Structure 1
């Protein structure tokens, strides 16, 4: 094998605190799981870790893992070896500067697991980390909590060979050898019996009775497939599973149908046959946990163990401080007028919205000019869709819709019938009016500071003696009664009155 352009990291930072952290560069993470082998590649980790590739090969390492000793089958080892060779080649071709390769419960527990790792390390020319159950739980929770920072309760990561549970404060963790493939083997291919096994084992975990909160945070694409099916079955207006949540009664009823093999009457794209075959066992695990007395809901998270591995390697992690703001800052830098303009825009009009969430106002301002290169007639709808469907975390569906509606009003003063129907599902009339008020002022700023060259500092939004909203600016501006400026100002003032109930 030719000398690689990237560094396969010898030390996983979580396991070795002295390991050097990554400052910048594109990073690949290869996850040798019990069900599949996955390659994810993140763009420059210095800012928001944009995912540029997510590739999976089904391997089913833990397919015959029941009670007692087991070995990785040679045919599956051969398949994983081929996947590793391909994934390493792909990482090199995409100019990754760093790569982490790790294996989880199936490799950890197999009698020939260490032999497999030694063989695989020779194949790729670098280190493969065998994660302990504690490391799995810690890293999965790190990823989950970065994507839903306000969650409090228990994080669950159900793989092919094990079920990892950790409280969100990371004081307690438990690793059960009860992944979907091992459950299938242990139950004799009976999802109802699998749930009974899970309930019995979960009842033994004392710390689950004293959680720091009342939410289950479910990670992994398998768990999110349950969310996708529920959304489709009930015509949910978004197709974004991140931070979709279900109360226990609803979740238990739906999971019970999946356990019993009932036809949901819906078809969802991109759920593979392999995932469908083990879906009843995922439902069994979720159902068993939702039946705990102190649980209020389940929230599905996009980030998980691979993101936890990524964040553990980074020298600085803006995502862990505020993932939504980190995404908006990076997007403003890449596609907008720059992060400094977004911050300035939020500050310029913040005094008019004392009741507004400061975080919402700043993120909306950062999103405001990210579509300036698009054709003007399509810009409002396009920006609404881009913000609504953006691949970011740290925002629930209500906040996502509020940001998208504000982005629309940055470019148009009236919602289309279709977009109003979508917005009204999540926002009340007062909240839509707030979006219009903020978006209208951002529109006004586009006129006062075209190209974001710094002229916005020369204008102030003030109330005159009659309480009307006016603009103070340079002498040349004050001598010119601009119809466009006045129209935008009137629109903004009317929206502010509607949002704040001014008379």
Structure 2
């Protein structure tokens, strides 16, 4: 049975709606995403009351969200409100009014729960063991210290990009004295938390400020991959962005490539909060998470339904399996090909001078090598390559995801020129191309060994002898079609292994 779940996150600065589709086999996919700027915390600083104009903007947005939920025929709406409503003296009245006018019941979550949801969203989509997560919103900043993929400390600080912008008057161009005053305030707030000092762990950013930092850096560097999640930059790159933003007027910031015009008036506060966190933690890099509270809410629902742990043991395996099922791949064939390819890797790794980390790329490519059939059977390896390049795969760097895409597309003998003339050439050096070719060869052999998709070749042993590369096939019955298919790989094997292929059969 399929299901559609709507997640609504009403924040202090913006409101978000996502719709997740759960397929019959349990795979899930994002099918709709909408963001609206509501500035719900605007004008709250003095009275701690949500202002009529802000309430009007929020209600108008929620009415649109309710209409979209009807159009998408969602089965369940999970809605939350965060810092602005949480801190407002008239927050309860707003929640009642929102339900009356839109039919949407929002749960006002605590800062601690907001931090936990951000943790669930980020740690299930970024392959890090330790780190400091920050979710920088309009009215609050949630901090979560992670050790061994578990929460060790967390806190919700009562300030964010909107509230500090209003408090210090940062909307337009500001002088050095105002920046110094802002930084002194941030440093004092962070210094009261001893567990932040010199963690030396990566700083993981959730929220619009973090995403915009990544987009600005990508534009400055002409980054060729349009993906923000798991994008990483060092302190020097961040300081370049900070200086650029701190010294520009509002009009100039609105023209800054990569920066959303809706965020231009609050970005000074945002980047200076990040600067304070980088300084106190001495983090070696800033990692951007495109997943946070909304994804945490969905995963919390999904994992409870399917009886899965809140933090996945292997996010790459989970996300790859999810992509496979979402594209109606055959799990039996895909996992058999992956098993054969991994066995070939183990047997010939030393001779091919492959790195241990290459094995996971081969497995991803093997599991997803046929998903392009959903577009068109003809040239489906190229279609598979494109889908892998753009899939929501978690646990790979951007470069690794590109490599996996190349391996899957190249394994059927597609010309390397096709890939070298595309985005891939911006990421991969000559060493990467050599590795990709060898891994594509292993995948090609594995696919030949199950070309009938009957599983006749149960397993294989790959050996190197003095004058031959030996494949020992363990068969349940004769497999003449598989044997014939292997002949297509003879030249490839001889070129990359430097040896002729010798086949032995063992019936089991």
User: For the superposition of Structure 1 and Structure 2, which TM-score range results when normalised by the shorter chain?
Assistant: 0.7 to 0.9
Deviation at 1:39, TM superposition (A): 0.7
Corresponding residue for residue 480 of structure 2: 477
Report Cα offsets for 1:374-432 as digits up to 9, x if no partner: 55775454433322222332221232122112122123354117627854654454443
Deviation at 1:351, TM superposition (A): 2.5
Corresponding residue for residue 339 of structure 1: 331
Corresponding residue for residue 177 of structure 1: 158
Task: Say if 1:375 and 1:111 are closer, same or farther in 2 by CA, change over 3 A.
Answer: closer
Point out the more displaced range, 133-142 or 405-414: 405-414
Point out the more displaced range, 50-59 or 448-457: 448-457
Deviation at 1:459, TM superposition (A): 7.4
The reply on whether 1:73 has 2:51 as its aligned counterpart is yes
Task: Say if 1:371 and 1:469 are closer, same or farther in 2 by CA, change over 3 A.
Answer: farther
Task: Say if 1:493 and 1:151 are closer, same or farther in 2 by CA, change over 3 A.
Answer: farther
Contact 1:140 1:305 in 2 (8 A): yes
Give the strand-richer structure, 1 or 2.
2
Q: Give the alignment partner of residue 288 of structure 2, picking from 287, 297, 300.
A: 300
Q: Give the alignment partner of residue 202 of structure 1, picking from 173, 190, 194.
A: 190
After TM superposition, list the pairs within 5 Å mapping 1:61-460 onto structure 2. Answer: 61-66=40-45, 68-125=46-103, 127-168=105-146, 169-189=150-170, 190=174, 192=179, 193-209=181-197, 211=199, 214-261=201-248, 268=257, 272-292=260-280, 294-314=282-302, 315=304, 316-317=307-308, 320-335=312-327, 337-354=329-346, 356-357=356-357, 358-372=359-373, 374=375, 378-416=379-417, 419=420, 422-423=423-424, 425-450=426-451, 452-457=453-458
Contact 2:140 2:160 in 1 (8 A): yes
Corresponding residue for residue 31 of structure 2: 52
Tell me, in whole angstroms, the C-alpha distance in 2 between the residues paired with 1:412 and 1:222. Answer: 43
Report Cα offsets for 1:164-189 as digits up to 9, x if no partner: 11112322112222211101111122
Report Cα offsets for 1:205-234 as digits up to 9, x if no partner: 2110263x5110001233111111111111
Tell me, in whole angstroms, the C-alpha distance in 2 between the residues paired with 1:196 and 1:418. Answer: 50
Deviation at 1:340, TM superposition (A): 2.1
Corresponding residue for residue 490 of structure 2: 489
Tell me, in whole angstroms, the C-alpha distance in 2 between the residues paired with 1:236 and 1:198. Answer: 31
Deviation at 1:115, TM superposition (A): 0.8
Report Cα offsets for 1:124-175 as digits up to 9, x if no partner: 4463211111111111112111111324221011111111111123221122
Report Cα offsets for 1:81-126 as digits up to 9, x if no partner: 2322331232233232222111000001111111101222233446
Contact 1:336 1:372 in 2 (8 A): no
What's the C-alpha RMSD, in Å, of the aligned pairs?
Answer: 3.1
Structure 2's unaligned 5+ residue stretches are 350-355, 500-508
Contact 1:28 1:98 in 2 (8 A): yes
Q: What is the SS of the residue equivalent to 2:227? A: coil
Tell me, in whole angstroms, the C-alpha distance in 2 between the residues paired with 1:433 and 1:336. Answer: 31
Tell me, in whole angstroms, the C-alpha distance in 1 between the residues paired with 2:218 and 2:253. Answer: 11
Contact 1:461 1:471 in 2 (8 A): yes
Length, aligned pairs only? 471
Deviation at 1:331, TM superposition (A): 2.6
Report Cα offsets for 1:439-465 as digits up to 9, x if no partner: 233334444534634345487766567
Task: Say if 1:481 and 1:180 are closer, same or farther in 2 by CA, change over 3 A.
Answer: closer
Contact 1:25 1:44 in 2 (8 A): yes
Contact 2:341 2:362 in 1 (8 A): no
Tell me, in whole angstroms, the C-alpha distance in 2 between the residues paired with 1:385 and 1:141. Answer: 30
Tell me, in whole angstroms, the C-alpha distance in 2 between the residues paired with 1:442 and 1:150. Answer: 28
Point out the more displaced range, 324-333 or 94-103: 324-333
Tell me, in whole angstroms, the C-alpha distance in 2 between the residues paired with 1:144 and 1:181. Answer: 23
Point out the more displaced range, 434-443 or 139-148: 434-443
Point out the more displaced range, 189-198 or 87-96: 189-198
Contact 1:36 1:57 in 2 (8 A): yes
Point out the more displaced range, 233-242 or 319-328: 319-328
Contact 1:437 1:493 in 2 (8 A): no
Q: What is the SS of the residue equivalent to 1:232? A: helix
TM-score, normalising length from structure 2?
0.83
Tell me, in whole angstroms, the C-alpha distance in 2 between the residues paired with 1:460 and 1:321. Answer: 29
Contact 2:206 2:288 in 1 (8 A): yes
Task: Say if 1:114 and 1:481 are closer, same or farther in 2 by CA, change over 3 A.
Answer: closer
